[in-house]
Structure 1
Amino acid sequence: MEIKRVAIDTSKHVFTLHGVDERDHPVLRREVKRTQVEPFFSKLRPTEVVLEACGGSHHWGRMLTAMGHRVRLIPPQYVKPFVKRGKNDRNDAEAISEAAARPSMRSVPVKSAEAQAEAMTLSVREQLVKQRTQLINALRGHACEFGVISAKGAANAGKLVERIEADVTLPAAAREMFAVLGREIVRLDEALGDIDRKLAVQHKANPISQLLVEVPGVGPIGALTLALTVDATQFKSGRHFAAWIGLTPKDKSTGGKQRLGGISRQGNERLRQLLVLGATSVIRVAKPGSKHATPWLLGLLGRRPRMVAAVALANKMARIVWAMMTSGEAYRLAPVAAG
């Protein structure tokens, strides 16, 4: 039995395989347990193996590549249109195979374990920041119930805890719970400080990150995130890269008429967030004669709302980043608008 391609629908315990021959006719349909995947493919002649780019897929990609198989990871959103009515594991595996058969189908490169480990540091930092924000919001919310008001921001959390400790009118049970929240916030602050120091070392050791940090609005965290999570060679142009991040308008054109909607918000949510926040920081200080006040940006701010301008600037930043990553050139400062 000659198998041209095997698609795998992964799960926690049981994997579904869908194999096709040279004419794309199904010749293999079976379920195997997780522990049986490696023995099965070790006996199979080298072939193309396709998976959805999701949790654990890079691990399987590395393992299967070491066996001599050609591994492709396809983004889940590109597989979904090929799923037939009646979603189940077998139909999902067949859809992955159908998607892989398309000549223009894009794939995601398999990451090394080292690359995943470096990117994991960024992911853990993001999760801890979210937890700290939740705790600070809980602290401020409960304090407000007792008439204690505080300004927003992580920097004001410590002052709020001190005010609460000094307020002898609060019930003992409330003071105890406020102390618990305060200790957790301090613990997260210390953990984030350790991670930030590690990321600073990574940033200095990464030449691409050092290159991208020169772009206005791109800080060390943003530059390192781009350097560790983006393979610029996978995109044909800066516009394709911006579209992947979700910074281009939705295209609803038909009948020869072009209709563009809001931004798609598809792709990497974290990169989109970092670029939009960076663009917002640039706009906040954009005035005639300032360092980054280009004629294009000032003209845009003069005719469009600031948030719309921030998204447009983020789109422009994404294209600049792609150009720098593919060419290796340093950022060149655009002419500043005269005051």
Structure 2
Amino acid sequence: MHTENKSFGSRRVCKMKALARLVLGLVIFDAAVPAPTLETISYDSESYDAALEDLDNLYNYENIPIGQAEIEIATMMPSGNRELLTPPPQPEEVEEEAEESTPRLIDGSSPQEPEFPRVLGPQTSEDFPTCLLCTCISTTVYCDDHELDAIPPLPKNTAYFYSRFNRIKKINRNDFASLNELRRIDLTSNLISEIDEDAFRKLPQLQELVLRDNKIRQLPELPTTLTFIDVSNNRLGRKGIKQEAFKDMYDLHHLYLTDNNLDHIPLPLPENLRALHLQNNNILEMHEDTFCNVKNLTYIRKALEDIRLDGNPINLSKTPQAYMCLPRLPIGSLV
């Protein structure tokens, strides 16, 4: 009886081992099917038990609980058949993102024109965009020290333009055409000797004009919106400034005309003028009504506090009535 029970237990253990091997083989086979393999594995009825025996010896599954083995195997992801977590962007989305990320420094052309000139400004005569040849920051264009011999085409929303230390010889009437936002022009240290009559007159927002250190002999008509004018160190002579050129510039605060060939003070001067620099010219005389109103002795010109007449062949002591309305005396020779 004892022998029979022992034999029955042995057969039962063998059956359980066979069943466990079969279950493990099915689980492993199911996990291995989707994985890529270098060569096809085939099983037949004769070698199936041998394959299970080899797997049993290799992984020693007798010491691992069946449930744990199933969980570990089930959590493995086949490396050859993984799906993307997020779908790739559609072509339209890619185009929209690229358009939004494109930098636009200055819009110098209409929307129908290509993107290249919109970003880098209009083309110059050298086939370079202005903002590639110069430097454009927001509405300011810097073209200093680039050996330019002409004003480059500027983006339409340019407000501040600097082109100092170049070789520009002439300012044409179309150089600043349609630049309705232009407020400051600085062309210091060029070779400018000629300016067309309409070069500045039609600029509705122009406030500051700097043309110092050039070869200008005559100023064109200027817009009445100017608040700051510097034409120092040029060649302005007797006819270099039109009569009553500054009369209607009610907001003009600073007028610098030093180092020219002027022989008179350009009158009348705006009431709000604060600084008038005329040193190093050829001014010989001054009238009593140059700054004051001789018919109104109570008149006081409060704004004009800075007058420079030194370096001129004029004796300021000969016309003392001309300064009675000023808060300060002009700087110049009293002998």
Q: Identify whether the pair has TM-score above 0.5, normalized to the shorter chain.
A: no
Q: Point out the structure with max Rg over C-alpha.
A: 2
Larger RCO: Structure 1 or Structure 2 (Cα < 8 Å, ≥ 6 residues apart)?
A: 1
